[in-house]
Structure 1
Amino acid sequence: MTDKVTAFKQALGNYPTGVTVVTAYSDVNEPIGLTVNSFASVSIDPLLILWSLDKKSQLHPLFSNTDKFAVNILANDQTHLCTVFSSKIPDRFAQVKWSNSLHGLPILHDTLATLQCETYKKIDAGDHTIFIGHILEIDNAQKEPLLYHRRHIGQIPTSFYE
């Protein structure tokens, strides 16, 4: 690994992010999902968000063929969801509580927020694909976020809010 790649990984690994699980249905109507921390807002008008996926991921071809997806933003008590959806467990959805939404998307229960999106654009970006979603529906809960920092997941210490 080059010095620049190492420095890049160190810098971004030290940048705390929220944790999400992106879900959709495959072209054979099976629920698919994975843990994602490469999530960001893009635009207010129209309401757009983005996330990215490594082209080497086994789920890359499945997400590439979807026309809508949901971003489930995890709450600080949902470490289990993060772990399940970042694992190689074959049937991740059998391990968690979820339901089908009115927009026809698999939605995880009790998250901090859920953004249901139609795919607005897919952008080839090096070894990743950037998925931009146009938001169809937003569900919010009054919860604290789950965070990812230096390869660890956890919550914001309560002293942070004081």
Structure 2
Amino acid sequence: MSAFPSGVTLMTTADSDGEPRGFAASSFCSVSLEPALVLVCIAKTAQCHDAFLENDQWSIQIASSVHVDLVNRFATKGADKFGGGEFVPDHRGVPVLLDAAVLIECEAHERYDGGDHTILVARVIEVDVDDRPAVLYFQRGFRHLDQVPLEGAL
């Protein structure tokens, strides 16, 4: 799968005690336009897995190149993911990264078993798009998104 380039997201919620919880994921995609649905997959072994089962309020942040260190922290088991002060709680108490390339406010639509992962399908409530390009993950490394369209692009 490392040969398939993908964007990088930070998925966040709050647990039943109001503590921020989150994980990094490249398994993110659009599911439906009407209603607007997206999906993200979380490992069942993730420390924050139960928080995403208990709370229906989520946020998805699409990372930009300035967030590589933050993405690495979110991808590290046992790391203090929210210790850097980059996140603030939104009106629902969900931690959000205000300078994300894209910030998606969402809520649970459905959860599915996906082997060693849980597939989280989210209904999109609001989207805030910044002007900075998203970062790509490709061949086990981060890459900048080239802004020059290819000939014949859709």
TM-score (norm 2): 0.90
Give runs of aligned pairs for residues 110-121 of structure 1, distance below 5 A.
110-121=99-110
Tell me if the contact between 1:81 and 1:96 (Cα under 8 Å) persists in the aligned partners.
Answer: no
Residue of structure 2 equivalent to 1:28: 17
Cα deviation, 1:63-87, whole Å, max 9, x if unaligned, reads 2211111000001221111111112
1:70-129 deviation line (CA, Å, top 9, x unaligned): 000001221111111112344211124111112331101311011011100000111111
Identity of aligned residues (%): 29
Q: Which structure features the higher share of helix residues? A: 1
Q: Equivalent residue for 2:96?
A: 107
Quick check: 1:19–1:35 contact (8 Å CA) kept in 2?
yes
Matches within 5 A, 1:114-129: 114-129=103-118
* Alpha-carbon distance in structure 1 between the residues aligned to 2:79 and 2:40: 23
Q: 2:39 aligns with which of 26, 50, 66?
A: 50
Aligned match for 2:28, one of 24, 39, 55: 39
The answer to whether 1:73 aligns with 2:66 is no
Cα offset, 1:154, TM superposition: 2.4
Cα distance in structure 1, aligned partners of 2:75 and 2:85: 13
Q: Is residue 18–residue 93 contact of structure 2 (8 Å, CA) maintained in 1?
A: no
Is the CA contact (8 Å cut-off) linking 2:13 and 2:57 kept in structure 1? yes
Structure 2: give runs of 5+ residues left out of the alignment.
none
Displacement over 2 Å in runs of 4+: 88-91
One-letter amino acid of the counterpart of residue 121, structure 2: I
1:13 aligns with 2:5: no
| Paired residues of 1:25 and 1:66 also in contact (CA < 8 A) | yes
1:148 paired with 2:148, answer no
> Residue 73 of structure 2: which of 84, 98, 112 is its match?
84
CA contact (8 A) 1:79 1:153 kept: yes
Partner SS for 2:66: coil
> Which residue identity is paired with 1:38?
S
Distance 2:12 2:123 in 1: 15
Whichever residue aligns with residue 119 of structure 1, its letter is: A
SS at match of 1:94: coil
Q: Structure 1: any 5+ residue segments left out of the alignment?
A: 1-11
How many residues were matched structurally?
150
Give the CA RMSD over aligned residues: 1.6
CA deviation after TM superposition for structure 1 residue 145, in Å: 1.0
